[in-house]
Structure 1
Amino acid sequence: MTPQRPPRDLRLDVLRGWLQVSIFIAHAFGAIYFWGIHASWGVSDSSEQFVLLSGLALGSVFTLKRVRDGFGAALRDLGGRIRRLYLTHLVVFVLFAAMVFWAQMAVPLPGVVEATGWGWLVREPWLAIPGTLSLLYQPAFMDILPLFVLCMVLLAPFLWLLERLGDWALLAPFGLYGAAQILGLMPHGLGGRELGFDPLAWQVLFLLGAWLGRRALLGASPLPRHPALFATALLVLLAGLWVKLGHYGWMVPAPALLDEFSQKPSLGPLRLVHALALAWLVAVLVPREAPWMHGALPRALAVIGRHSLHVFCLGLFLSWGVAMALSLHPAGAWWLELALIPLGAAALAGFAATLERRRQPSRRMARAG
């Protein structure tokens, strides 16, 4: 039986929208609104959920096209998505570089080019440009989209393996993750910059999401809800809270091993299971559709979630601008943050609403055709 495209999950749209707002707040490096996002209270943040949900969506899309139109058609569609994301990263890279160079000269912000990792592009552009094209030169804020490109490259081989080995194919991403943790495997960044995300480790979240997306599309049973799983998930979240509160000096610091297992670039084991525990609790406790999801704020978040990529790109520029404003006016940073963060979030919502209005006529024309 050919699987049908499942109805859109409003819960996922709202969640993706909230993740985008959380990423904007985190990138702004403020000291007030940051306490309202879950990164302040645990060892994982929105990045992990963003990667997991992206894998879930693309795993479902690829599987549907594979079953309906064949592996070649699914591969061509995925190749087009990879190409568009790669080009999007290059456009964002160029515009972000222009913004940073302008800020150093016009604001002025002396030293900001070097401090944020863009100096190599000035000193040795003949090397920095190929480094950019290889996705291994990652100045500040330029590290997440290359991770998605590399993860998407792994998607088709992984799903091909799933068709032949079933769930045993999960040994491949988990084996690569284990090797990255034990052997310290990580591609070297260029231009004196380390990679913000080790793709050899972070791929496990993306491909696990793809496995879940494929599984749901093919009608597999829902995630289990055994009491032992609830207890384990809560213990993991409490361990993450202990690590964070220890960092703030609010309680006895957690053992050094927990800190070591919470590293972000390498997606440490505690960070991984913390992100999975949080995702599982949301998946089993939050219904697919609830009255509160139709309120004004959740609807705005859902629109942001439906345009995650474009909103994320705009959010990079806005959050960097907020962060620079806060650093330029430390004495008044608190009132600047109170004003600028809501304005930035409103700009993201307005941008997403504009994209939504433009997409609706094209959808109606496609249905009519």
Structure 2
Amino acid sequence: MTSNSAAPAGNAADVPGTPATKVRDPRLDFFRGVAMFIILLAHTPGNAWTLWIPARFGFSDGADIFVFCSGMASALAFGAIFAKRGWWLGAARIAHRIWQVYWAHICVFLVTAIMLFTIDHLGIGNKDTPYITSPYVVPFFNETGEAMLGLLTLTYVPGLFDILPMYIVILAMIPALMFIHRIAGVPAVLAAMALLWLGSNLAGWAYQVDDPAVLGGLGSFIYSVGSTLDFLNLPSNPFGNGRWFFNPFAWQLIFFTGFCFGMKWLPAPPVNRTLIIIAATYVILVIPFAWFKIHRGLYLPDDWAIQNFIEETRAAIRPLWWKTEQGALRYLHFLAVAYLAWVAVGPMGARLSTGFRAPGAVGRFGLIIAAVVFVATIPYNYVEWIMVYAPPLNDFIVWLFDPVATSIFGTNLFADPEKIGMLQIAHGLAAIVLIWAAIGPERRHWMTHDLVQRVVPVVRKVGTQSLAVFMLSIPLSRFNGFLLDLIGREWWSWWLVHMWGAACLIACAYFVGWIKGQPWRVPRKPAPVSASSAKPVPAQ
């Protein structure tokens, strides 16, 4: 999360354990920037776009990207201090960063809570639901004393405000990790990471399980061990039995994975076809168990064996993909996605600077198929528009899909509204194929090269100022939900509000970067003096 990160792991000229500080890695800033935009979308209330963020199709999400990149950035920013200036100065630098993030967390909570209270107080939002109930900051106003004490001691951590507290605790672990590395080396560091992650998962399982006997004697043993580790379940409020949504003792695994790569304690994985196939296969296999359209039975009939298998398997393996304790399958999913992204951007992220090779247009047969799919799925993608703006066309489609289709096929052709998503995907893919062919090779080259070279620096800028941008994104996401309540949730309002949100993040990143450059210390250039106004120097 720091903006002082530098070169990536894997530079052969560097000494392992001493990150270089000369060349900035474009991949780190770019993917942190991507995570910032995803997190803003994910936190916006009532946002239909969240149905299409990466988290809907896999176990991991933008939070994993954010934490992993923060770990790598922390290694590049703080690791050299431990290596070159000693453990005590390194620990002092970490303490200073914790101090900054702590007050950032307090500020974010207060600004967001007061903004939501103001909307309710003035009565300018949705009259049906008080805004202070989502996120649930009601105790801050109803039980202010206890909430204030809990806020300052990090024992009151409601949902939406849990990432920075997690980061604070993980930052506090860095000096201990560096001490372990000093006395026992990398194997001991990896062992400590794994044991702490395992302990937090056992504690989480014991906290949530209703009947440990479901696993027989093994379940009772796990429950006994997990119960003794209950101190790893940090309390999220002083009013009940809640716990932190992001368990830092589990999420340290993904943070310190990035940290170890940044410190060059772990070698960069090789780029080979076998690993790419394995990673891609795992990412694809996870989709049915992660995408609610499938595992909730919205696409497959309930009486199908495959549907029952997916639903039952997902429930059975829940501790392996749950978010709070960074389940094992979730962690593996992130590693697979990260590896594919790492390969895609090329060595040292070269393709982020030069662009990507533009795929050619499909052949005539492919275009015909795309056109047929595009036309056939139009009614399923614009149902509401057709009903409102073209009633005659709506009547014709109803007649064609109901009495006519019934007379021919014995059933109507109307799809379950919950199952339209698959047809939307088919429609979108067909549209992309047709548009890609229509724009021609020159515009395809522009999109994959010139446009990339314009967009990537902006995304990277957001990534370089990730703490400031994240602080803005929390209240901004709630404000964007308020805007959508005011203007309605239509296709144009989605675009308007989300483009506004992205512009705010970008403006914040550039402004903070400008301020950090301390422009007031740059001497002002003297105004140029024209030859006609110059006075001759008198002779001595």
Per the normalisation by structure 2, the TM-score is 0.62
Q: What is residue 149 of structure 2 aligned with on the other side?
A: 130
> SS of the counterpart of 1:182?
helix
Q: 1:231 aligns with which of 252, 277, 284?
A: 277
For the residues of structure 2 that align with 1:273 and 1:73, how far apart are their CA atoms? 35
Q: 2:481 aligns with which of 323, 326, 333?
A: 323
For residues 364 and 63 of structure 1, do their structure 2 counterparts lie closer, same or farther at Cα, with a shift above 3 Å needed?
Answer: farther
Which region of structure 1 is more displaced relative to structure 2, 29-38 or 315-324?
A: 29-38
Which region of structure 1 is more displaced relative to structure 2, 296-305 or 279-288?
A: 279-288
Structure 1's unaligned 5+ residue stretches are none
Q: What is residue 176 of structure 1 aligned with on the other side?
A: 196
Q: Which amino acid aligns with 2:186?
A: D
- Residues 136-182 of structure 1: CA deviation (Å, up to 9, x unaligned): 21224211110100110011101221222222221112111112222
For the residues of structure 2 that align with 1:121 and 1:30, how far apart are their CA atoms? 24
For the residues of structure 1 that align with 2:515 and 2:505, how far apart are their CA atoms? 16
Aligned length: 361
Q: 1:297 aligns with which of 431, 451, 455?
A: 455
CA contact (8 A) 1:181 1:201 kept: yes
For the residues of structure 2 that align with 1:115 and 1:69, how far apart are their CA atoms? 46
Q: What is residue 222 of structure 2 aligned with on the other side?
A: none
CA contact (8 A) 1:59 1:155 kept: no
Q: 1:19 aligns with which of 29, 35, 38?
A: 35
Q: What is residue 425 of structure 2 aligned with on the other side?
A: none
Q: Which amino acid aligns with 2:135?
A: T
Q: 1:343 aligns with which of 479, 487, 500?
A: 500
Q: Does 1:117 align with 2:136?
A: yes
For the residues of structure 1 that align with 2:271 and 2:455, how far apart are their CA atoms? 30
Q: 1:91 deviation in Å?
A: 1.2
Q: 1:303 deviation in Å?
A: 0.8
Q: 2:106 aligns with which of 87, 90, 95?
A: 90
Q: 1:104 deviation in Å?
A: 1.5
Q: Which amino acid aligns with 1:352?
A: A
> SS of the counterpart of 1:312?
helix
- Residues 205-264 of structure 1: CA deviation (Å, up to 9, x unaligned): 112221111116xxx743233544333322331232121332463353352234452221
For the residues of structure 1 that align with 2:149 and 2:251, how far apart are their CA atoms? 24
For the residues of structure 1 that align with 2:41 and 2:106, how far apart are their CA atoms? 24
For residues 301 and 30 of structure 1, do their structure 2 counterparts lie closer, same or farther at Cα, with a shift above 3 Å needed?
Answer: farther
Q: Which amino acid aligns with 1:289?
A: A
Which region of structure 1 is more displaced relative to structure 2, 34-43 or 77-86?
A: 34-43
Q: What is residue 161 of structure 2 aligned with on the other side?
A: 142
> SS of the counterpart of 2:132?
helix
Q: Which amino acid aligns with 1:285?
A: A
For the residues of structure 1 that align with 2:469 and 2:460, how far apart are their CA atoms? 12
For the residues of structure 2 that align with 1:152 and 1:236, how far apart are their CA atoms? 31
Q: Which amino acid aligns with 1:357?
A: W
- Residues 50-81 of structure 1: CA deviation (Å, up to 9, x unaligned): 10110111123222112222222211111111
For the residues of structure 1 that align with 2:83 and 2:504, how far apart are their CA atoms? 40
Q: Which amino acid aligns with 2:50?
A: F
Q: 1:36 deviation in Å?
A: 4.7
Which region of structure 1 is more displaced relative to structure 2, 164-173 or 102-111?
A: 102-111
Q: What is residue 166 of structure 1 aligned with on the other side?
A: 185
Q: 1:31 deviation in Å?
A: 4.6
Question: What is the RMSD of the two structures over their aligned residues, measured on CA atoms?
Answer: 2.5
Q: 1:311 deviation in Å?
A: 0.8
Q: Which amino acid aligns with 2:350?
A: E
Q: 1:85 deviation in Å?
A: 0.6
> SS of the counterpart of 2:456?
helix
For residues 32 and 121 of structure 1, do their structure 2 counterparts lie closer, same or farther at Cα, with a shift above 3 Å needed?
Answer: closer
For residues 114 and 11 of structure 1, do their structure 2 counterparts lie closer, same or farther at Cα, with a shift above 3 Å needed?
Answer: closer
Q: Which amino acid aligns with 2:249?
A: L
Q: Which amino acid aligns with 1:346?
A: A
Runs of 4+ in 1 over 6 A off after TM superposition: none
Larger Rg: 2
Per the normalisation by structure 1, the TM-score is 0.89
CA contact (8 A) 1:25 1:33 kept: yes
For residues 347 and 229 of structure 1, do their structure 2 counterparts lie closer, same or farther at Cα, with a shift above 3 Å needed?
Answer: same
Q: 1:102 aligns with which of 112, 115, 118?
A: 118
Q: 1:34 deviation in Å?
A: 2.8
Q: 1:305 deviation in Å?
A: 0.7
For residues 75 and 333 of structure 1, do their structure 2 counterparts lie closer, same or farther at Cα, with a shift above 3 Å needed?
Answer: same
Q: Which amino acid aligns with 1:229?
A: L
Q: What is residue 308 of structure 1 aligned with on the other side?
A: 466
Q: Which amino acid aligns with 2:176?
A: P
Q: 1:296 deviation in Å?
A: 1.8
- Paired-residue identity, %: 26
For the residues of structure 2 that align with 1:102 and 1:76, how far apart are their CA atoms? 39
Q: What is residue 198 of structure 1 aligned with on the other side?
A: 247
For the residues of structure 1 that align with 2:155 and 2:22, how far apart are their CA atoms? 37
